Amino acid sequence: MTRAAEHSHALAPAPRRKQRRPLTPKLKAGLCILGIYVLMGVFGPMLLPFDPDKSDILSRLQAPSAQHWLGTDQLGRDFLIRLLFAIRIDLPVAFAASFVPMIIGTALGAIAGYYGRLTDTIVSRAADLVQAFPVYVFLLVLVFAMGSGATSFIIAASAIAWVGYARLTRGEVLRLREMEFVAAARVTGLPESRILLTHVLPNALPQTVIYFMSDVVMMVLVLSSLSFLGVGIQPPTAEWGRMIAEGQPFLRSHWWLAAAPGLMVMVFGIGLSMIGDGLDEWYQK
Amino acid sequence: MSGLLDITNLRIDLGQARTPVSPVGPLDLTLDVGECLGIVGESGSGKSLTLKAILDVLPEGLVRGAGTLRVMEQGKWVEPAAKDLRGRKIGLISQEPGAALDPLMRVGDLIGEIVRLHSGCSRAESKTRAIDLLRQVGVPDPEKRATFWPHELSGGLKQRIVISMALACKSEILLCDEPTTALDVTIQAQIVDLLRDLQKQHGLGIIFVTHDLALIRQIADRICIMYAGLIVETGPSAEIFKAPQHPYTRALLAALPDIEASSGNLQPIEGTPPNPTDFSVGCRFAARCALATEACRAARPLLEKTERGTMVACFHAGVAP
């Protein structure tokens, strides 16, 4: 900017506010996929006149028809409603299993990074300790010990997944702590805790949110893997991993019984990854 | 004049060095009410560190080693902890106004937060007070600008916001760390004018750090010339510019372009300042000084009064080279 322009800018009335940055195509596509899943999960089962858990052994393994659009499974349950009903299990559980460790990990990482010294040593060593175990084995042990089910899955996932958030936030906070605006805030007399909460943490969060998106994908995969192995969500509740496992014996004749839930997991994963990537692009712009 | 700030023997140490290293000090500074003290020196002479040491916001690895810092509080000298000075008695205005503002906060909220902290008033009231402060520092259209994010403002406006943050604390002393270096010349002049106005209005004491001699000549009542962490010459601004006594001060002024005497080339100072890890026992300028003798290398000259009312740390003070 030339001097004259700079000068007049300082004296002129405030220019019109710029519009918000437009969302990137990737972000839009990802949000669409997530939106469709949520809509399907909320309204889908209401529109179908079936009970997802009630078996009807006489009409088992039917091919797709006008009545059962995706046919029936090995216990004669409508397959489509089970597929949609599973959204109500997989999505909230995966989100919770990412959200709880996000809160815990971000808090611990922020404290460790900002205050350093003993807090940093404790948090970092604890993170090392958790990370030293193979993820799936550790999860299996924890879920096994607590008994399978959504709650114990969320607790077990939180016990492990906080590490990623803590490391991420710690690094960001270490970087931000040395920034001039933090020193400026300190100079104005703001207490340290307030600086951390209102100035440092908000600047560290974008990275966390992006990581959260990929973590949800991970949690859907982990949840369905555990259910596939039989220690996740228990039957008869519809859950994608469980459904893949149940569809496996019929791969030759009824391939869609295993493929469709797999597809549901995959598309959901792609959608959330796109949100994560898109957010990243959007922040960088 | 009445005193406002009195620093004696201030030293900044390198925290974890095996042998003690002090990049700055020991040095003494005083500041009176309504006075502008200029600290001049080249990069690395420790001017900014001195300011940061006053508020104890030194970068990691550096600590305020020795020294006492006293401020005048209701007619009495007190020696408060640095953290009790922050946001109250002393404000700091930094070189990069862009970096000093949290990018994720609207500027009105940024100022409002400080107002709330110090007065405990409501959110709505802090908003109007923030707008008042913006108006005081000459931000046009303050109601609207309060809703702007820092990145939407020009450098000059950002610096005005930083100044208003210091005013929000009701600071009596403003430490200005090259506040105009990152700005255009015209904006520089505006900011300097603003600081002067505020100084007059509120009786602020200002310590102004810069390497811009022309600028310091305009605004400072008193000047400290710093070299390699020490004050080598100090005194009333006019005296120093008229008759510099220290060879370094003279060399600095000789390197300054002058419109009236435009004849001849500018005189650069040969060599570079010493590294804090190998400060000698003698005068730190000796290696670059034309007048240096054995005595200069053997012992460090201390600040001594001259008949002109200034203080100089040189064995050969006033001797023409």
User: Is it the case that residue B282 has pLDDT exceeding 90?
Assistant: no
Report d(CA A49, CA A45) in Å as an integer: 8
Torsion of CA B296, B297, B302, B306, to 10 degrees: 10
**CB of B199 closer than 8 Å to CB of B137:** no
Please say if the pLDDT value at position B234 is more than 80: yes
pLDDT at B293 over 90: no
CA distance B110 to B150: 10
Q: What is the pLDDT of residue A2?
A: 38
Q: Which of B92, B103, B156 sits opposite A6 (nearest CB)?
A: B156
Q: Does residue A54 belong to the interface with chain B, where contact is any CB pair within 8 Å?
A: no
> What are φ and ψ of residue B28, in 5° steps?
-115, 140
A9: in domain: no
Q: Among positive and negative, which fits the CA dihedral A193, A197, A200, A201? A: positive
pLDDT recorded at residue B179 = 85
* Residue A248 near residue A229 (C-beta atoms within 8 A): no
Q: Is-cis flag, bond preceding A236, omega within 30? A: yes
- Please state the ipTM of this predicted complex: 0.77
* pLDDT one-digit tens code per residue, B67-101: 888 888 887 888 888 777 787 888 888 888 888 88
Global pTM? 0.78
Interface mutation target, options B104, B143, B173, B174, chain A, most CBs of A under 10 Å? B104
Residue A46 corresponds to which tokens in the numbers above? Answer: 């209401």
pLDDT in tens, A204-230: 998 899 899 989 988 988 988 888 888
Contact at 8 Å (CB) between A215 and B134?
Answer: no
pLDDT at residue B20 tops 80: no
Whether chain A has a CB inside 8 Å of the CB on B96: the answer is: yes
Chain A residues inside the 8 Å CB shell of B154? 1, 6, 9-10
What's the domain count of chain A? 1
Q: Give which of A255, A250, A228 is closest to A239, Cα–Cα.
A: A228
Distance, in angstroms, between B72 CA and closest chain A CA?
A: 19
Cβ–Cβ of A10/B156 closer than 8 Å?
A: yes
Does A31 contact chain B (CB < 8 Å)?
A: no
| DSSP class of A50 | S
- Position A19 scores a pLDDT of 62
Task: Return the structure tokens found at A47.
Answer: 């529109």
**A81 within domain boundaries:** yes
Residues 57-116 of A with CB under 8 A from B: none
Greatest distance between any 2 Cα atoms in chain A: 85
Confidence of residue A263 (pLDDT cuts 50, 70, 90): very high
Strand order in the sheet with B304-305: B90-93, B173-177, B205-210, B36-40, B222-227, B230-236, B311-312, B304-305
Instruction: Report yes or no: A20 at the B interface, CB cutoff 8 Å.
Output: no
| Banded model confidence at residue A270, pLDDT cuts 50, 70, 90 | very high
**Within a domain: A19:** no
Q: Is B152 on the interface with A (CB under 8 A)?
A: yes
What gap in Å lies between CA B219 and CA B208, rounded to an integer? 9
Question: Is residue A77 over pLDDT 90?
Answer: no
Asked whether residue A17 is domain-assigned, the answer is no
* A69: DSSP letter: T
Average pLDDT over residues B147-169: 88
CA distance B109 to B129: 11
B167-201 tens-digit pLDDT: 888 888 889 888 888 788 888 888 888 888 888 88
Domain presence at residue A25: no
Segments forming the whole domain that contains residue A272: 30-46+66-284
Tell me how many residue pairs between chain A and chain B have CB atoms under 8 A apart: 97
Cβ distance B309 to B239 under 8 Å?
yes
The conformation of residue B145, written as its DSSP 8-state character, comes to: H
For residue A60, being part of any structural domain is answered with no
What is the per-residue pLDDT across A111-142, written as a single tens digit (0 to 9) for each? 999 998 899 999 999 999 999 988 888 888 89
Residues 121-140 of chain B with CB under 8 A from chain A are 140
Tell me how far apart the alpha carbons of residues A97 and A142 are, in angstroms, rounded to a whole number.
Answer: 14
Q: Chain A window 194-213: which residues touch B at a Cβ cutoff of 8 Å?
A: 194, 198-199, 202-203
Q: Which of B57, B86, B102 to mutate to test the interface with A (most CBs of A within 10 A)?
A: B102
**Option in A3, A184, A203 nearest B104 (CB):** A203
Chain B hits for A187, CB-CB cut-off 8 Å, are 55, 57, 86-87, 90-92
Which CATH number belongs to the domain containing residue A35 in this structure? 1.10.3720.10
How far, in Å, CA of B94 to CA of A54, rounded?
70
Q: Look at residue A81 and tell me whether its pLDDT is greater than 80.
A: yes
DSSP summary character for residue A140: H
d(CA A96, CA A44): 22
Q: Which tens digits make up the pLDDT trace of B5-17?
A: 888 888 888 877 6
Q: Report d(CA B124, CA B89) in Å as an integer.
A: 25
CA-based nearest residue in chain A for residue B146 = A14
In a domain, A210, yes or no: yes
Q: Does any domain span residue A219?
A: yes
**Boundaries of every domain in chain B:** 244-258+266-321
Which of B300, B147, B152, B136 shows the shortest CA–CA distance to B227? B300
- Interface membership of A181 toward B (CB under 8 Å): yes
Cβ-based burial of A89 (10 A; exposed 0-12, middle 13-18, buried ≥19): buried
Spatial separation of the C-alpha atoms in residues A282 and A278, rounded to whole Å = 6
